[in-house]
A and B are shown apart, each in its own frame.
Chain A
Amino acid sequence: MNFFHYIGQYLLMVKGMFSRPENSKMYWKEFMRQCSDIGIGSLGIVTIISVFIGAVSTIQTAYQLVSPLIPRSTIAQIVRDTVILEFAPTLVCIVLAGVVGSKIASELGNMRVSEQIDALEIMGINSKAYLIRPKIVAALVVIPLLVVIAMVLGIRGGRYAGGMANIISDYAYDKGLLQNFVPYNVIFALIKSYVFAFIIASISAYFGYFVKGGALEIGKASTKAVVISCILILFGDYVLSALLL
């Protein structure tokens, strides 16, 4: 029964976000603040992860391709498709669930515990619309951009690693990148990133918004938000792959 209670509460929260803004300018400002927090705040970690993932993919693919019959440019093809299809959208979003999700949950949880959300309600402001909607919309705008950046950096990281380890020349790598390229893979990755962005922002907001208690509960809510988001991302990854590939 609890499961249905949580689902119902979550759906009501999402429904409650859709109301006319009391002041569009204030909502816009909050949206921009969230874009900056999510985007700029996560850019560093996304860059580091993407470059290293690409690099490791190149080295490990080369390690497994032992046959001299397979051209070296195949490494680049495999790295490209792995990064675009899986690493950039899924892995980056799992990391973002930790970075962004815990931030959203703890921010809202702290606002709930310190009665700031009540203060907004008393002023006549729809707190769900003002606090949660800009976070979700910002996540939907910024996370796919981060995923695109992760794709580019992952592929570049693979190129650098291939060159430095003398696995594959830059020329062969670039050639491999262009071979058998399927543009739909990028669209598929973007669809995944939109779904994951919604999961990260809305699940974290749910756990933060409805927190009860004090500092300990805020910590627990953040952890729950990250864990549930990660599970849903992996589940969503499987479902989307089964449906769209």
Chain B
Amino acid sequence: MIEVRNIKKAFGGKTVIEDVSAVMKTGQCNLIIGASGSGKTVLMKCIVGLFEPDSGEILYNGKSFTAMKHEERTEVRKEIGMLFQGGALFDSLTVEQNVMFPLNMFTKWNQKQKSDRVNEVLARVNLVDTNKKFPAELSGGMKKRVGIARAIVMNPKYLFCDEPNSGLDPQTSLVIDKLIREITTEYNITTVVNTHDMNSVMEIGDYILYLYQGKKEWEGNNKEIIFTKNKLLNDFIFASDFLHDAKEMRMLEERGKVPPGLDLEGQNPQ
């Protein structure tokens, strides 16, 4: 479990994250959503320690990450896997070498053990016959899957995905979402996903944190978000008329199923 407590972060006097708190539970997909420039990536980078928050606290399984020394942080980081927006694969290494890199660095396994593990995780992300290819030879979706494979090869406790669907077609996005969901459940890890892809929100949003101009505007899950009365969130999610109409239809549908006396719109905490 990851706890974020009152995080603040500013760059050159401009506040990017303001007093954000959240609890991200193990075994579920925790989504940080918001428009471009709302501070999603900065918040994620604060959580993983790539940025130092100006104030506030981040706890990994109850231990304060912000108060840890460099060496202690390094140990926590070994339990973190991260998928970057562009994959962040090492250009000079093949797919196999990329995925094997953390094993080479941190384990004393022999070559066969490492190869077996690499093949296992590559098969897990549905990549076959790509071991000898270089990142430049892969499609966007394949790069993301290699990124996921590299992130999970060390059996992490925490998986961070920064905009895993950016630049991907809707079908491939669904495949990636499904993969993230399966891996989260299968390995029982805490997954944190940065996204503004509404499909992802609906598909895997066990916990959703909506940021607006660096502040926490709303939190809930993918069932509650449909019925939210929060105007800013509504404007963000249902930006197009098509999605707005889809929401209306879904609400009508849901109303038919709801027991009398329960106000669906009242479910939202805000």
Chain A residues engaging chain B, CB cutoff 8 angstroms: 22-23, 25-26, 110, 114-116, 118-119, 121-125
Partner of A123, one of B45, B77, B86: B77
B residues 70-89 touching A (CB-CB < 8 Å): 74-75, 77-78, 80-82, 84-86, 88-89
B248 to chain A, nearest CB (A): 40
Q: What residues on A are CB-neighbors of B85 within 8 Å?
A: 115
Q: Are B105 and A114 in contact (CB under 8 A)?
A: no
Are A115 and B104 touching (Cβ within 8 A)? no
B187 within 8 A of A: no
Residue of B whose beta carbon sits closest to that of A22: B105
Given contacts A123-B106, A124-B78, 7 further A-B contacts (CB under 8 A): A22-B106, A26-B104, A118-B84, A122-B48, A123-B78, A123-B105, A124-B74
Least distance between A20 CB and chain B CB atoms (Å): 10
Distance from A105 Cβ to chain B, minimum over Cβ atoms (Å): 16
- A119 close to B50 (CB less than 8 A): no
When C-beta atoms are compared, the residue in chain B nearest to A124 turns out to be B77
When A114-B86, A115-B85 are in contact, do A122 and B106 touch as well, CB less than 8 Å? no
Closest chain A CB from B145 CB (angstroms)? 15
Within 8 A of A (CB), among B83-105: 84-86, 88-91, 101-102, 104-105
Establish whether residues A124 and B106, one from each chain, have CB atoms under 8 Å apart when the complex forms: yes
Nearest CB of chain B from residue A16's CB, rounded to whole Å = 10
Q: Which residues of A have CB within 8 Å of B49?
A: 121
Q: A123-B77, A124-B74 are in contact. Are A118 and B50 (CB under 8 A)?
A: yes
Contact of A119 with B88 in the complex, beta carbons under 8 Å = yes
**Chain B contact residues (Cβ within 8 angstroms of A): what range?**
20 to 34
Contact (Cβ within 8 A) A122 B105: no
A118 vs B50: C-alpha distance when bound (angstroms): 7
Residues from chain A with Cβ under 8 Å of B78 in the complex: 123-124
Residues of A within 8 A of B89 (CB): 116
Chosen A-B contacts, 11 in total, with CB atoms closer than 8 Å, are A23-B104, A23-B106, A25-B104, A115-B84, A119-B90, A122-B80, A123-B77, A124-B74, A124-B75, A124-B77, A125-B105
Alpha-carbon distance between A70 and B91 when the two chains are bound, in angstroms: 60
Which residues of chain A are near B84, meaning CB under 8 Å? 115, 118-119
Taking the closest CB of chain A, its distance from the CB of B13, in whole angstroms, is 16
B48: chain A residues within 8 A (beta carbon): 122
A119 touches B74 (CB 8 A): no
Chain B nearest CB, measured from A215 CB (Å):
13
Q: Which residue of B lies closest to A121 (CB)?
A: B50
State the CA gap A23–B77 with chains docked (Å): 16
Partner of A115, one of B80, B88, B106: B88
Q: Which residues of A contact B77 (CB under 8 A)?
A: 121-124
- Collect the chain A residues with CB atoms within 8 Å of residue B75's CB: 124
Known pairs A22-B105, A22-B106, A23-B105; A122 contacts B82 (CB<8 A): yes
1/0 per residue, CB under 8 A from A, across B152-164: the answer is 0000000010000
Q: Chain A residues near B101 (CB, 8 Å)? A: 123
Does the CB pair A122–B86 fall under 8 Å? no
B104 partner residues in chain A, CB cutoff 8 A:
23, 25-26
Please measure, in the bound complex, the distance between the C-alpha atom of A152 and the C-alpha atom of B158, giving whole angstroms: 57
Within 8 A of A (CB), among B204-230: none
- Residues on B with beta carbons closer than 8 Å to the beta carbon of A121: 49-50, 77
A124 surroundings in chain B (CB, below 8 A): 74-75, 77-78, 80, 106
Chain A residues with CB below 8 A from B88, complex form: 114-116, 118-119
A110, B135: Cα distance in complex, Å: 14
With a 10 A CB-CB cut-off, give which of A25, A110, A116, A119 has the most chain B CB atoms.
A119
Instruction: Find chain B residues with CB under 8 A from A119 CB.
Output: 82, 84, 88, 90
Complex Cα gap A23–B105 (Å): 5
Residue of B nearest to A25 (CB): B104
Closest to A19 in B: B70
In the assembled complex, how far is the CB of residue A126 from the closest CB belonging to chain B, in whole angstroms? 8
Q: Closest B-chain residue to A122, C-beta based? A: B82
How far apart sit A184 and B82, CA to CA, in the bound complex (Å)?
54
Please measure, in the bound complex, the distance between the C-alpha atom of A165 and the C-alpha atom of B129, giving whole angstroms. 61
CB distance from B114 to the nearest CB of A (A): 13
A110 to B136, CA, bound (A): 14
B90: shortest Cβ distance to chain A, in Å? 6
